[in-house]
């Protein structure tokens, strides 16, 4: 058998073998590297893989470590943890609840808005869902909200951190998309092409993120209109009414100014993603200092949480670099390009297949794992077929956001269930269904109206 055919067979087996090992629960970072090296060795024995290609793994590992854009991830994680530990999020929800609580569905309305604000402050789904679960779920139960509805509102609002900048998911997708675009343009002989940057992807995702949050709000309004008994108003004391204006100035204005500083510096082009992350991390510490919430223990916790999440992401990134190298060396990328170029519907059919694959994988494996496996392999193929990289990045972010809600392994579901012990997981499953449907509908809307993602970057950058 021809060595090229053997290589392609090995590439396909490696891809599905990797998915199988991850679904069995093996550590992702080591599975990526281990499976890749095993198939590289098998390819060498069968004459289908060139040994010198493995030397490129060192360069890819070094590039992953020194990548300027990826440095923003630990900074945004630190920013989010400090905001959560300093009780800024808790006060935001309390104040927003006073603003809307007297209306049917008002507390749910407040939860969605605060979820969007936390998304723009942290960029981390886990931190947002846990914080909202600890703060808002008890308040919603005291107000006699429907348990299933409360669970759906909290989990879906927390996943907005996937799409609303600054999002760690968008940073990772953007990094791979930037590399894919350079690779595709170089293959076309266009060495002076305008690069795709993470900042452009942040800007492209802003309107979709806000529109999706608005859809969630409209769903809460619909429930309040059709079934007001499921979302009753909250009683507000005279003292809370009298102090409301002062609480707004004290509690809401400072974090809003921080969000404006972070996103504003990105939108205006004043700062890169890493520089804006530095502004956010510094601003979060300053806010905590003003609130007298900074302590050695709090900073230790924030640094430990930042180190844990960042180490996990970078380890997977290194494993993914080796996987991508071996997959390409075995001829897997060329095979994917040949298959997609002959697929019915051309670029449209290929894009649908990739997005559906990401959606299905979201039922079983983690979002970061999907990014590191799917995007490096299929993004260059789709860009060669003419798919817009900004639109594709946002669509991938949308699909990955849905993966946090899809049973049986939707991570937002388990974040909430782990935070609220008396909440049955079946109730959360039932509560997230309408929001999964809303996300799928919004993804369809973006498919037919790509300008939702592509208009703002052209207008402001």
- Residues 186-236 have pLDDT tens digits of 777 776 666 788 888 988 999 999 999 999 999 999 998 988 888 888 777
Length of the chain: 461
* Higher pLDDT among residues 405 and 118, named by residue: 405
The per-residue pLDDT for 211 is 94
Average pLDDT of span 168-177 = 87
pTM assigned to the model: 0.84
Q: Give the residue-averaged pLDDT of 358-383.
A: 84
Residue spans of the domains in the chain: they are 3-460
pLDDT, mean over the chain: 82
Q: What is the dihedral of CA 444, 181, 359, 415, to 10 degrees?
A: -110
> Which residue matches tokens 């808790």?
90
The DSSP string of 221-236 is HHHHHH-GGGS-----
Q: Which helix (H) or strand (E) holds 89?
A: helix 88-100
- The closest alpha carbon to 383, from 401, 365, 370, 396, belongs to 396
The pLDDT tens digits of the residues spanning 35-44 come to: 888 998 898 8
Number of other residues whose CB lies within 10 A of the CB of residue 386? 9
- Check pLDDT > 90 for residue 79: no
Sign of the CA dihedral with 244 first, then 102, 160, and 417 last: positive
- Which one has a higher pLDDT value, 309 or 8? 8
What is the SS3 assignment for 213?
helix
Question: Rounded to an integer, what distance in angstroms lies between the CA atom of residue 205 and that of residue 163?
Answer: 6
- Please give the share of the chain, as a percent, with pLDDT higher than 70: 95
Closest C-alpha among 400, 399, 401, 384 to residue 350? 384
Those residues with Cβ within 8 angstroms of residue 390's Cβ, 6 or more apart along the chain or in another chain:
196, 200, 201, 204, 453, 454, 457
Weakest mean pLDDT among 219-228, 340-349, 372-381 = 340-349
Q: What tens digit of pLDDT does each residue of 113-137 get?
A: 888 887 776 666 776 787 777 778 8
Q: What number of helices (H) and strands (E) belong to the chain? A: 22, 0
Q: Is the pLDDT of residue 396 over 90?
A: yes
Cα torsion angle, 64, 65, 66, 70, sign:
positive
CB 361 within 8 A of CB 406: no
Tell me how far apart the alpha carbons of residues 269 and 434 are, in angstroms, rounded to a whole number: 37
* Measured distance CA(302)–CA(289) in Å, rounded: 14
What does 22-88 look like in DSSP terms, one character per residue? HHTT--HHHHHHHHHHHHHHHHHHTT-S-GGGGGHHHHHHHHHHH-TGGGHHHHHHHHHHHHHHTTH
Considering only CA atoms, give the Rg of the chain. 23
Task: Answer whether 231's CB lies under 8 Å from 223's CB.
Answer: yes
Listed range (51-55, 170-174, 432-436) with the worst mean pLDDT: 51-55
Give yes or no for residue 181 having a pLDDT over 80.
yes
How far, in whole angstroms, is CA 90 from its chain's centroid?
22
What percent of the chain is predicted at pLDDT more than 90? 12
Highest mean pLDDT among 14-23, 150-159, 250-259, 444-453: 444-453
Cβ atoms 165, 205 nearer than 8 A: yes
Retrieve residue 276's tokens.
Answer: 């804006």
Distance CA 228, CA 239 (A): 26
Residue 50, phi-psi category: left (phi > 0), alpha (psi -120 to 50), beta (remainder): beta
Q: Give the distance, in angstroms, between the CA of residue 65 and the centroid of all CA atoms in the same chain.
A: 21
Inform me whether the pLDDT recorded for 333 exceeds 70.
yes
**How far, in Å, are 16, 327, 364, 380 from residue 340 at the CA level?**
18, 16, 24, 11
Q: How confident is the model at residue 355 (pLDDT cuts 50, 70, 90)?
A: very high
Query: Where on the phi/psi map is residue 105: left (φ > 0), alpha (ψ -120 to 50), or beta?
Result: left
Helices (H), 166-272: 168-187, 198-226, 238-242, 244-247, 253-267
């Amino acid at each position: 058998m021809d060595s090229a055919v053997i290589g392609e067979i090995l590439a396909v087996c490696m891809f599905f073998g990797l998915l199988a090992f991850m679904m069995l629960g093996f550590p992702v970072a080591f599975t990526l590297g281990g499976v890749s090296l095993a198939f590289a060795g098998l390819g060498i024995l069968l004459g289908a893989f060139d040994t010198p290609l493995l030397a490129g793994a060192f360069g890819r590992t070094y590039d992953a470590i020194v990548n300027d854009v990826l440095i923003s991830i630990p900074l945004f994680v630190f920013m989010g943890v400090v905001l959560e530990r300093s009780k800024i999020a808790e006060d935001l929800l309390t104040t927003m609840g006073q603003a809307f609580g007297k209306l049917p569905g008002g507390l749910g309305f407040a939860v969605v808005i605060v979820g969007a604000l936390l998304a723009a402050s942290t960029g981390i789904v886990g931190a947002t869902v846990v914080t909202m679960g600890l703060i808002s779920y008890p308040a919603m139960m005291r107000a006699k909200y429907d348990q299933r509805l409360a669970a759906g509102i909290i989990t879906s609002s927390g996943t907005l951190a996937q799409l609303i900048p600054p999002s760690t998911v968008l940073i990772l997708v953007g990094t791979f998309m930037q590399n894919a675009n350079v690779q595709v343009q170089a293959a076309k002989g266009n060495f002076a092409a305008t690069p795709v940057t993470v900042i452009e992807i942040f800007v492209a995702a802003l309107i979709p993120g806000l529109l999706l949050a608005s859809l969630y709000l409209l769903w809460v309004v619909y429930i309040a209109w059709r079934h007001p008994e499921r979302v009753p108003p909250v009683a507000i004391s005279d003292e809370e009414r009298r102090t409301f204006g002062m609480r707004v100035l004290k509690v809401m204005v400072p974090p809003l100014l921080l969000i404006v500083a972070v996103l504003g510096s990105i939108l205006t082009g004043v700062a890169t993603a890493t520089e804006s992350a530095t502004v956010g991390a510094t601003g979060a510490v300053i806010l905590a200092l003003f609130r007298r919430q900074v302590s050695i223990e709090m900073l230790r916790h924030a640094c430990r949480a930042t180190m844990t999440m960042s180490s996990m992401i970078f380890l997977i990134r290194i494993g993914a670099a080796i996987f991508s190298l071996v997959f390409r060396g075995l001829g897997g990328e060329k095979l994917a390009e040949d298959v997609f170029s002959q697929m019915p519907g051309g670029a449209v059919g290929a894009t649908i297949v990739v997005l559906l694959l990401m959606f299905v994988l979201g039922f079983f494996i983690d979002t970061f794992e999907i990014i590191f496996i799917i995007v490096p392999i299929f993004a260059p193929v789709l860009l060669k077929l003419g798919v817009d990289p900004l639109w594709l990045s946002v669509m991938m972010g949308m699909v990955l956001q849905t993966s946090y809600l899809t049973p049986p392994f939707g991570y937002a579901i388990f974040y909430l269930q782990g935070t609220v012990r008396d909440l049955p997981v079946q109730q959360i499953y039932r509560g997230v269904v309408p929001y999964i449907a809303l996300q799928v509908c919004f993804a369809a809307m973006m498919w037919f109206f790509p300008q939702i993602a592509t208009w703002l970057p052209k207008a402001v950058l």
